[in-house]
Structure formats: structure tokens, C-alpha cells
Amino acid sequence: MASKTVDGYTWEPATGVVKGLKTDAVVKPAQSLGSKDNIYDAVVIGAGYAGLAAARDLALAGTFWSSSYSGRSVLLLEARDRIGGRTYTVNKDGFLYEMGGTWVTHHMGYLFREMQRYGMDRDLVTTGSPDMHKGYYTMDVPGAKPRTLSHEEAGAMQAKAWDVFVNVDGQYGRTLCPLPHAQLDNIMVDRETVEKWDQFSCQDRFDQIQDQLTTEEQGLLVSLLLHISGGDMQTSSLWDMIRSHALLMHSSDNFTDVWLRYKLRAGQTELAKRMFHDAKARGIDYSFSSPVQSISQGAEKDGEITVATHGEGAFRARRVISTIPLNVLKDIAFSPPLSKKRQEAIDIGHVNHMTKIHADVRNPELERWNGMRFPGLLLYGYGDGRLPNGNVHLVAFGADEREHFVPEKNPELAVESFNKLHPMDIQRLIFHNWSTDVYAKGGPAWWRPGYMSKYQDELQSRHGNIFFASADWAHGWRAAIDGALEQGSLAAQSVDGELGPSRPSAAVESKL
């Protein structure tokens, strides 16, 4: 039976806002620790996908090649009471709601490998109703009369506007970003060219091409860009859009199939659980509800690192892998201090403060509805099938509206914003506000103009014997589950390579 995390909120007319959501992601008991005198091979900070990949891979290190060796000694520390980080699944009345990262695709290599590994690669469901083509799309943008159209017509308009926007080189980014997993220092494009384009904001590009679009196409495009970046047009990087299009194989034909179509039938938390239980079976120690306070390392090349937590004391390790999100790193005390450049990147942070809210509604006609309204506190709404009780599930997204809209404080504004997208009878809202979450301070990372070329290398680099692994600065699928898995796997590989041969298993007798 699912337990209740302290995270997230529900709202119903009769109860108002209630904190805490039921999810299988909660870990009980919260601690499994060895002796306080242990010096771990590695402490992994964070039990999101990056941390789970790192901890699991280190726990398995060496065991694939010889039954006489056990994996690295690993401690997994997590500030929350659950696994998953910014991705977890809520189980409410027999329906699964994804609070953060949601969609899967075989185009995401690290993610697909995990799905195959745990037998979840074919157990998928699609977003929306199977009969979505029978539904309709509503559009409300400035300068044009609100209207209803088919999904096909709306999709074609959006694709045209997106294609014009990202086609900066006349080849839809193929000559500028041919290798989206190697944006800098790749064999095809010189770094100076990338750095030049990285200076542009989405607003800069929109100003160049808006006269090629109709009023409706302009509204669709701007709202889509804000939907993706979770910021505003001036602070959202054009390069991030170019990179995202490159990851779509440079074709908007793949937009829905790659980004928005397929979900795990059992939910993201089930995949995270299988990774965690795999690591646990290999002997990792762990401590949840243990936020990290400071990370200190000695001056010696292989000196111990001390990780101090709020509540569980301090732990020692030979290496540390931190998966702490970019916007939260400023809350951690590092000794010696981080480099000036890394600290500067942390102080700037990323711009994504998106809103994502699930709604249960009584309107059967909305099962096959999608729609948008710009401007608005919520920009897009998507119908996502029937609930077990016969109601319809909707999910809506907005950009950075923190100054005007905090859903847990202003649920009536959320209800009003849903109804501005389309009139509806809302029975319940379910959401997690990542911007007010002290362990996230924002959604998936979207960067400012110039940020990638100036800071990505530094953010990916080590600090002494501390390695940094997060989707927030991944090579390819930054701001996605795949990026988190990429970074966790690469960090574990680096740590394992440095530490030398795995330790002999206690169960194996010496042959000497």
C-alpha cells in the first residue's frame, strides 16, 4: 500500500489544500546504516534518477566480471522521504499521476537501457485517449478570435511556427547542432560558432522571424517556447531550442512521439524502485530525510571527504557524487570553496519555474480535448483519458508566474485558469510546486543565453574528489530523465575507475 510523502498537494472544494501525496516512492524504514566509523568508497547525494544510477552502478562494480568480488561500498543520502527527486508517481484512487518527468522514448538511450534492464520497455501506455482524432483543440491568442479546430490543424500550425523558429541555418540545425550530445568541441562545428549562437535569446529569434507567421502562429509559438523553457522570452536560450530540435532528429515530425506520447504503464516510480531495490540488494547503505549541510575534503589528493547532514551526523568517503539540483547547490557549504566560475554559475541558476497541475473533471467531452490560451497563468491543457470513477484526467502547464500565482496558496486561481482554457467542472487538483520546493527550487533546468558555452564545462567538471551529476547540466537530454541517468552513470564510471580493483567478497576464501 502506498505511503504518504510530505511532498505535493491536493485540493478539493470540501477540504481545500491538503499537503502530502500517496506514492510508492516513500522508503521505509528510512535508514539502513552500518557503523559510523565506515569510510565509504563513495557517498552519493540524492536519490533521483542520477543518484540511483550512480549508487546502483557502483554497488555492482566488479560483480559482472567475477563472483569473487563485491561492489563498491556506497552510502546513498537523500533529503526527501522518497526516491525519484523531481520525478515521482502519485497513486490516487487507482490512477497514476506523474508529478514531474513523465514521458519515455527509445530515442533516449540511457533511459531505454534502464527500461529494458527492468523489463519495462514494452509495458507502455499512450498519453490521451486512443480516439484523440475524434476530439478538438481550442486556441485563444492575442489579436485573433478564439476558436475551435482539429488536432491536426493545430498541430500543423504549431509545427510550421516551430520550424521557422529553429531553422537558423537553413537546414533545421543540422549544420549548427549535428551532434546534440556534444554541443561544444565536436568534430563538425567549431566552438566559436556555437558560442555566437548561444548568445541569442528566444526573444531575439522571435523578433527576426515573427513577420513570417500569422497572428495565431505567433501566439502558438511564444506560448510553446514558454511552455518548454518555463521562463520568459528574454531569459530563455535560443540554443536550448536548437539543441532540443536536434534531439528530435532535426524534424518536428517527431515532436509528439519523442516528447509527449509514451508513458510507463506502471509509472516512473516503479522504474526508480527497481533501480533502488537492485542497489539495496547489492548492499548499499542509505539514509532518507537526511538533507546535506556541508561537504569538506582534505588537501591530500586522496584525502577523506566528510559529508555532514541535518539530523544524521557526518559520513566519510573516498569519493562523493553530488546530484543536488543546480538551483539548490548554493545552500551547501563546500570546503575548500567551489571555483569562482562554478559559484557564479550556481548563483545565476536556471530559469525554469514551470507550473504543472493535474485536474479531475466531470466533463466527458474533454477526454479528447487539448487547448491553449496565451497569455495566462496556465498556457496549455491536455486531456489524458478517463479515470476509474468515470471522470476525465487533465494536465495543464504554465511558465514562470511566481509573482502572481502560487498554486498551494491560490487554488482558486488554478481553478479559474483551467476554466479560462476551457469551461469545466473541477473535482480535484493534484500538483507539486517545484519552485517552492526547497530541494528543487525550479523545474527541469533551462538556461539563459550564453550560459551553456560559458558554464557547461565547469558544471560537469569535478571539484577535487567531488563529482557532480545532474540532468541540470547533462550533455544531451538536459532537463530530462535521460540526462539524469547519463550523468549518474558517467560519474559512477569515473569514480569506479579511480578507486582501483573492487574489494574481494567476504564470502570467498583466499586461494593463496
Q: Is residue 504 in a domain?
A: no
Do 305 and 328 fall within a single domain? yes
Spatial contact of 364 and 195, defined as CB atoms under 8 Å apart: no
Q: What is the mean pLDDT of residues 477-504?
A: 91
pLDDT of residue 69: 52
Strand segments, DSSP code E, in 323-443 are 333-335, 355-361, 369-373, 380-386, 392-398, 426-431
Asked if 320 and 226 sit in the same domain, the reply is no
pLDDT in tens, 422-452: 999 999 999 999 999 999 999 999 999 999 9
Burial of 154 (0-12, 13-18, 19+ CB in 10 A): buried
Which three cell numbers, joined as nine digits, stand for 498? Answer: 579511480
Domain housing 81: 26-86+268-349+443-499
Which residue ranges are tagged as binding site for substrate?
Answer: 397
Check whether residue 183 and residue 219 sit in a common domain: yes
Evaluate whether residue 321 is within a structural domain.
yes
Residue in this structure with the C-alpha cell 569515473, named with its chain if needed: 494
245 within domain boundaries: yes
Q: Is 62 left (phi over 0), alpha (psi -120 to 50) or beta?
A: left
Cα–Cα distance, 396 to 97 (Å, whole number): 12
Of 111, 109, 44, 96, whose CA–CA distance to 481 is shortest? 111
At which of 209, 239, 260 does a domain end?
260
Element (H, E) at 293: strand 292-297
Query: What's the whole-model pTM score?
Result: 0.95
Same domain, 342 and 287: yes
Complete DSSP assignment for 143-171: TS--EEE-HHHHHHHHHHHHHHHH-SSSS
Q: Which amino acid is at 432?
A: H
| Arithmetic mean of pLDDT, 147-168 | 97
Vertex 86 angle, CA 454 and 385, to 5°? 125
Q: 506 falls in which pLDDT band (50, 70, 90)?
A: very low
Rounded distance between C-alpha atoms, residue 9 and residue 226, angstroms:
24
Same domain, 240 and 275: no
CATH number at residue 314: 3.50.50.60
Task: Kindly indicate the confidence band of residue 378, based on its pLDDT and cuts at 50, 70 and 90.
Answer: very high
Query: For residues 214 and 122, what is the distance between their CA atoms, to the nearest angstrom?
Result: 41
Task: Quickly count: other Cβ atoms within 10 Å of residue 286's Cβ.
Answer: 23
Domain check: are 147 and 227 in the same one? Answer: yes
Q: Nearest 5°: phi and psi at 449?
A: -55, 135
Taking residues 483-511, report their average pLDDT: 77
For residue 62, the model assigns a pLDDT of 62
Q: Which residues are annotated as a binding site for FAD?
A: 78-79, 292
pLDDT for position 129: 85
**CATH value at residue 211:** 3.90.660.10
The answer to the question of residue 424 being in a domain is: no
Enumerate the known binding-site residues: 78-79, 292, 397
Q: What is the helix (H) or strand (E) element at residue 482, kind and residue range?
A: helix 481-499
Helical residues (DSSP H) of 248-335, grouped into ranges: 255-259, 268-281
* Residue 487 CB partners (closer than 8 Å, separation 6+): 50, 323, 460, 469, 470, 471, 473, 474
Q: What percent of the chain has pLDDT over 90?
A: 90
- The x, y and z cell numbers of residue 165, run together, are 523558429
In a domain, 354, yes or no: no
With CA atoms as reference, report the closest residue to 287 among 81, 3, 39, 63: 81
Judge if 164 and 239 occupy the same domain.
yes
Same domain, yes or no: 70 and 216? no
215 and 141 in one domain? yes
- 168 and 317 together in one domain: no
Task: Say what the pLDDT of residue 130 is.
Answer: 84
Residue 145's identity, in one-letter code, is K
Instruction: Indicate whether 190 pLDDT > 90.
Output: yes
Q: What is the mean pLDDT of residues 199-219?
A: 98
Structural domain total, the chain: 2
- With respect to residue 32, please indicate whether it lies within any of the assigned structural domains: yes
At which of 229, 260, 291 does a domain end?
260
Residue 13 resides in a domain: no
Q: Are 484 and 470 in contact (CB under 8 A)?
A: yes
Question: H helices of 282-436, where?
Answer: 340-348, 411-421
Q: What is the pLDDT of residue 299?
A: 76
End of a domain among 236, 260, 284?
260
Give first-to-last CA distance, the chain, whole Å: 50
**pLDDT tens digits, one per residue of 262-294:** 999 999 999 999 999 999 999 999 999 999 999
Region 403-410: mean pLDDT is 96
Instruction: For residues 121 and 111, give the distance between their C-alpha atoms in angstroms, rounded to a whole number.
Output: 9
Are both 314 and 447 inside the same structural domain?
Answer: yes
Report the candidate in 467, 455, 420, 175 with the shortest Cα–Cα distance to residue 320: 467
In this structure, is residue 31 part of a structural domain?
Answer: yes
Cell digits for 113? 537501457
Averaged over 167-192, what is the pLDDT? 96
Q: Within this chain, do residues 329 and 464 fall inside the same structural domain, yes or no?
A: yes
User: Beta strands 466-468 and 147-149: pairing type?
Assistant: unpaired
